Amino acid sequence: MSGEMVLTSVDLAIGHGKVRLAEGLAVQLRAGSLTALLGPNGVGKSTLLNTLAGLQAPLDGQAFVTGSNIHAMPAKERARKIALVSTHRPSVALLTVEALVGLGRHPWTGPWGRFSAADAEAVERAMEQAGVLHLRTRNMEHCSDGERQKVHIARALAQETPLMLLDEPTAFLDLPNRAAIVRLLRENALKAGRAVLFSTHDLQLALDLCDRLLLLRGKDGVWQGTPQEALRSGELQRTFAGAGVQFDAEGTHRFLH
């Protein structure tokens, strides 16, 4: 992608306590790009996302968003630069869709949390982009899994940050909803000029719909490139070596007996 660099990391090490899951990570995300984060179970994908979001301190190295050190900036400033859609969420069953999307504007409201006209417009725009305008008055408990996921993404869109991180946004959804979510993320990255990174186990959607892949391989660090480069170079095959998956040059994969 030709957009400006939104996120970079230098010699980043991630993990928990004394346990290092991966180190020497040099991650680069450009504006207007959709990147899928891939890797075997337990390799540290969620830990990497939480570290890049500033929720978890790195064990070593640094990460920067639009030139600022993620782990050195105040929480409110960080929330104006990074939106996170996590798998761990507080209960929001009684909130309406519009109220939940409105939470994305909190980094931009004043000390009393009052919405300006610009905040209301941002919420409206995010609901329209995510395709949930018709659900605005519905309580979250009455939304389907696919609808809930779109609402949480709308909340992140309303935050209007240059970087968006999502942990397994297509998990537990059927194929049409998985594809709709990834297409939504791709369209928004391009139109809004955001850098979007999401973790997934859906290899085919990543290969078919993403601009770039970020392959996390534990102590072997990361590899970044286009889906075509990942296939032609054999990097995707090496990342999933031993997982019983085989890829061909066209992007199709099959499971070995």
34-80 residue pLDDT tens: 999 999 988 999 999 999 999 999 999 999 999 999 999 999 999 99
Tokens 């601009």 belong to residue: 211
- What's the confidence (pLDDT) of residue 84? 97
Q: How far apart are CA 123 and CA 151, in angstroms?
A: 11
Q: How confident is the model at residue 257 (pLDDT cuts 50, 70, 90)?
A: very low
Instruction: Give the bridge partners for 196, in sequence order.
Output: 34, 164
- What's the confidence (pLDDT) of residue 244? 65
103-140 residue pLDDT tens: 999 999 977 778 999 999 999 999 999 999 999 999 99
- What's the confidence (pLDDT) of residue 243? 64
- What's the confidence (pLDDT) of residue 89? 74
- What's the confidence (pLDDT) of residue 250? 64
Mean pLDDT, all residues of the chain? 91
Kindly state the tokens that stand for 22: 């991966």
Q: Do 216 and 222 form a contact (C-beta atoms < 8 A)? A: yes
Rounded average pLDDT over 85-112: 88
7-19 residue pLDDT tens: 999 999 999 988 9
Rounded average pLDDT over 89-101: 88
Neighbours of 206 (CB within 10 A): 26
Burial state string for 119-148 with b = 16 or more CB within 10 A and e = fewer than 16: beebbebbbebbebbebeeeebeebeebbb
Q: Which strands make up the sheet holding 222-225, listed edge to edge?
A: 82-85, 163-167, 195-199, 33-38, 212-216, 222-225
pLDDT at 206 exceeding the cut of 70 = yes
Nearest residue to 85 (alpha-carbon basis) of 42, 37, 117: 37
- What's the confidence (pLDDT) of residue 192? 93
Interior angle at CA 215, CA 209 and CA 218, nearest 5? 155
Q: Do 157 and 133 form a contact (C-beta atoms < 8 A)? A: no
Q: How confident is the model at residue 193 (pLDDT cuts 50, 70, 90)?
A: very high
Mention every residue, 6+ apart, whose C-beta is less than 8 A from residue 133: 124, 127
pLDDT at 160 exceeding the cut of 60 = yes
Nearest residue to 197 (alpha-carbon basis) of 228, 222, 229, 168: 168
